[in-house]
Amino acid sequence: MKRSMITVLAVCAAFVLSACGSGSSNKLVMATNAAFPPYEYVEGSEITGIDPEIAKLIADDLGKELVIEDMAFDSIIAAVQSGKADIAMAGMTVTEDRKQNINFSDPYTEAAQVIVVKNDSTVASPDDLKGKTIGVQIGTTGDIYAEDIEEATIERYSKYFEAINALTQGKIDAVIVDREPGKVFVGENADLKMIDEEFTVEEYAIGVAKDNEQLLNDINASLKKLQDSGKIDEIINKYIKAE
């Protein structure tokens, strides 16, 4: 995987975090969960990945300084709602429930939920998850969709790699995870595999507070320029190899 480094331009301490959000005109504060490779992850002391690179181009286009705040995934929407962050960008799937709390930009890429199991697992399709113990990351769409699996036991983790570790240790039967991070985890664990049949197909977009229509419009305009120029495809292709 070819990687590009993004410097986290500033990290706001907790006592000044609220001042670093949408009230600061020269900064664009991005709330993320940097444990979601290749979309966002920590490399050394820096946060890098697809989303930080796209956010940096948007910030540059808007004449702002990008600030990345790493937090628990289930805290991201609240950070945007409260004004502690300007945008939510963390492989964030557009859902009707999330639309009740924040607005979404135009989608910038398509994604999917997949099932990761051990090589000797009998699970071969989503239907085989009935009655199984399934690991998910709290607040993700995998968490939401797992609730509908008949007779399943859901184990929730704060980070995907914690669910993957539980799977390798035999504590759970499967993990529902976004496709690209799933590929990374399988690539790093020889005893794991990904089920061919996708669990769901989704779209990723940027979350913005409902009372910040101007920022939403500005982001959509920037996204269109980046898409038309091929910059977004260029970034995604750098991190995700074509099949």
Structural domains present in the chain: 14-108+205-239 (3.40.190.10), 111-201 (3.40.190.10)
The residue count for the chain: 243
Are 31 and 70 spatial neighbours (Cβ–Cβ below 8 Å)? no
Name the residue among 229, 17, 230, 219 with its Cα closest to residue 104: 219
> According to the model, what pLDDT value does residue 210 have?
97
What is the rounded CA–CA span in Å between residue 223 and residue 61? 10
> According to the model, what pLDDT value does residue 242 have?
53
Which tens digit of pLDDT belongs to each residue from 57-72? 999 999 999 999 999 9
The pLDDT of 90-98, averaged and rounded, is 95
The residue type at 238: K
> Residue 73 burial by CB count (10 A; 0-12/13-18/19+): exposed, middle or buried?
buried
Average pLDDT, the chain: 90
Structure tokens at 91: 């492989």
Kindly tell me if the per-residue pLDDT of 12 is higher than 60: no
Instruction: Say how far residue 69 (Cα) sits from the centre of its chain.
Output: 13
> According to the model, what pLDDT value does residue 241 have?
73
Kindly tell me if the per-residue pLDDT of 37 is higher than 60: yes
> Taking every pair of C-alpha atoms in the chain, what is the biggest distance, in angstroms?
54
The pLDDT of 123-135, averaged and rounded, is 96
Predicted TM-score (pTM) of this structure: 0.81
